[in-house]
Amino acid sequence: MSAGLTVRGLNLARSGKAVLHGIDLALAPGRITALLGANGAGKSSLVLAIAGVLPATSGAIDLDGRSIAGLRPEAIRASGLAAVPEGHQVLNELSVEDNLKVAGSHLSRSALRSAVDVALGTFPELRERLQARSGNLSGGQQQMVALAQAIIVKPRYLLADELSFGLAPVVVARLVPVLQDLAAQGVGVLLIEQFTHIALKIAHAVYVMERGRICFSGEPLELIENPAILHSAYLA
């Protein structure tokens, strides 16, 4: 069985309008892959399609050699893929502790306790906020909760959409090493990041999207040495 998350010939329409056109993308275990592009390029739509939230029009999505195309989001999550959507999405009315418990609701009581301990070991800042209403947290703290929820399900692949959206640089600097640690543990990470210098610094591979298509795939150094490729995509 081939290891990796692969997307082949993926097409997607939203509200009757085609937004993804023949997307090919590969995510390898233990590596951080950056996905860059201007707002509206289709990056978030791609993440939602892979995660099963949006049904693709056509194309294939395989997780470690097994098709996950057409599966419901909870089935895809159970298969080993966790998505952290844009905008620090948490259950605002629930406490931090309950948010973490919901993420691990499929686990046994002892396994859940162990998983929560691991997540809190990654984000010790949340220990003192366990009983706080999640909607009252800062944006950075909410993003920690969202990442902690993903960690609890012990994913083999993690899709992080706009990790730094609306966050202060000091908070981003706190979150980036978490992704690097996950990759070091063998997790394949897809990072969509507005700060291209951060993405190119930590990524092993990079894709650039433009108007729903992949216009570049390769190594970060290629984009660093040829910035015109990125400039073209962001100005399209």
pLDDT one-digit tens code per residue, 30-58: 999 999 999 889 999 999 999 999 999 99
127: confidence class by pLDDT, cuts 50, 70, 90? very high
Helices (H), the chain: 43-50, 73-78, 96-103, 109-122, 139-152, 169-184, 196-202, 220-225, 227-235
168: confidence class by pLDDT, cuts 50, 70, 90? confident
- DSSP-assigned beta bridge partners for residue 84: 160
Q: Is the pTM of this model over 0.75?
A: yes
Q: Which stretch of DSSP H or E encloses residue 107?
A: none
pLDDT of amino acid 215: 94
> Please, what is the angle between helix 169-184 and helix 139-152, to 10°?
10
Q: Which residues contact 137 (CB under 8 A, 6 or more apart)?
A: 90, 96, 129, 145
Checking if the pLDDT of 89 tops 90, the result is no
pLDDT one-digit tens code per residue, 191-200: 998 888 889 9
pLDDT of amino acid 205: 97
Q: Which domains does the chain have, with CATH numbers?
A: 5-87+158-235 (3.40.50.300)
- DSSP-assigned beta bridge partners for residue 205: 33
